[in-house]
Amino acid sequence: MEKYIRTKEELEKLIESVNKDFPRHHRKIEEIPIDVVSTPEEAIEIAKKYHQEHELDGTVNEQIESLFFDEAYTFKVDLENRENDDIRPAWRVTVDLPPNPFLFEDYTIMVSDRDKAVMGMLDPNGHPVSEGNEFTDEDIEYIMSGEDLEDDEE
C-alpha cells in the first residue's frame, strides 16, 4: 500500500476545516445550550454524599470537565408500553478507583438532573448496576441498538 503525501495546500485546507468545526464538537460545560436543574457542582456533591453513605470504593472525581450530561438517559424500561420508559436528563459522575489487579476500570454514578438524586450506577461497561434495577441483557441490547424488542422476537 502506497502512502499518500498531502501537499502543503491540502494540509492547510484540512487544518482550516478542523479548526472551523472544532468549537461545535468541543465545548465547555457552561457553553452547552441546555437548561439544567442541577449545576455540575451540585451533581458532584450529590454523588459524593451517596458515595459516602453507601461506603463505596474509590474517589468521586470532582473535576467538572470530567462530567458528562446525558439529555435522555433511560432509568427504567417498561416492556408493556415503551412510551412509559423512565427517560430523563442525568449527570454522569465518574468514580476513580485506585490501581488494583482485580478492578481495572472506574464506574459511574448517575444523578438525575430533575430529581437532584442518585438514580443508579453504571459499571465500567456502561451497564446499570443499581440495587433493584430491572434491566435485563435484552433491555440493555434494546437501548443500545435503538430497535424495538418485539420486532426481534418475531
What is the percent of the chain where pLDDT is above 90?
19
Q: What is the pLDDT of residues 59-105, one digit of tens each?
A: 999 998 888 888 888 888 888 888 888 888 899 999 988 776 665 67
Q: Higher pLDDT residue, 88 or 125?
A: 88
Flag the least confident range among 3-12, 28-37, 108-117: 28-37
Q: What is the pLDDT of residues 11-37, one digit of tens each?
A: 888 788 777 766 555 556 666 666 788
Q: Which residues contact 114 (CB under 8 A, 6 or more apart)?
A: 37, 88, 89
Q: Which residues contact 135 (CB under 8 A, 6 or more apart)?
A: 76, 77, 127, 128
Q: Nearest to residue 64, comparing CAs of 83, 88, 47?
A: 47
> d(Cα 75, Cα 134) in Å, to the nearest integer?
9
Q: Are 107 and 129 in contact (CB under 8 A)?
A: yes
> d(Cα 76, Cα 133) in Å, to the nearest integer?
8
The confidence score (pLDDT) of residue 153 equals 47
> d(Cα 18, Cα 30) in Å, to the nearest integer?
22
The confidence score (pLDDT) of residue 62 equals 93
The reported pTM is 0.61
Region 38-43 average pLDDT: 92
Confidence band for 152, pLDDT divided at 50, 70 and 90: very low
Neighbours of 38 (CB within 10 A): 21
